[in-house]
Amino acid sequence: MRAYANLYRFGEATASTPLLVYIGGTLNWQKYQAQYETEPVPIVTELARALALRPLPSLDVLICPCLLDSGGEGHEHFVEHFDDELCPELGAPPTALACVGYSAGAGLATHLAIVTEARALAVFGPAGVRRAAAADRSLFEQFQRESARPPAVAIFRNHSDGVEAPPQVLAAALRPMEAQAMGMRPGQHKFADYVANGTVRDAFRFAIECLGVA
Domain positions in the chain are 6-211
Q: Are 86 and 46 in contact (CB under 8 A)?
A: no
Q: Which of 20-34, 57-71, 78-92, 199-213 has the highest mean pLDDT?
A: 199-213
State the Cα–Cα distance between residues 113 and 68, nearest whole angstrom.
20
DSSP state, 85?
I
- Region 35-54: mean pLDDT is 90
Q: What pLDDT sits at residue 112?
A: 92
Q: What pLDDT sits at residue 78?
A: 79
Q: Are 8 and 201 in contact (CB under 8 A)?
A: no
Give Cβ neighbours of residue 67 (< 8 Å, ≥ 6 apart).
Answer: 3, 26, 27, 29, 32
Confidence of residue 71 (pLDDT cuts 50, 70, 90): very low
Question: Hey, what CATH class is 6-211 in?
Answer: alpha beta
Give Cβ neighbours of residue 98 (< 8 Å, ≥ 6 apart).
Answer: 18, 19, 20, 21, 113, 118, 119, 120, 121, 122, 207, 208, 210, 211
Q: What pLDDT sits at residue 145?
A: 65
Confidence of residue 176 (pLDDT cuts 50, 70, 90): confident
Q: Considering the entire predicted model, what is its pTM?
A: 0.89
Whole-number average pLDDT of the chain: 85
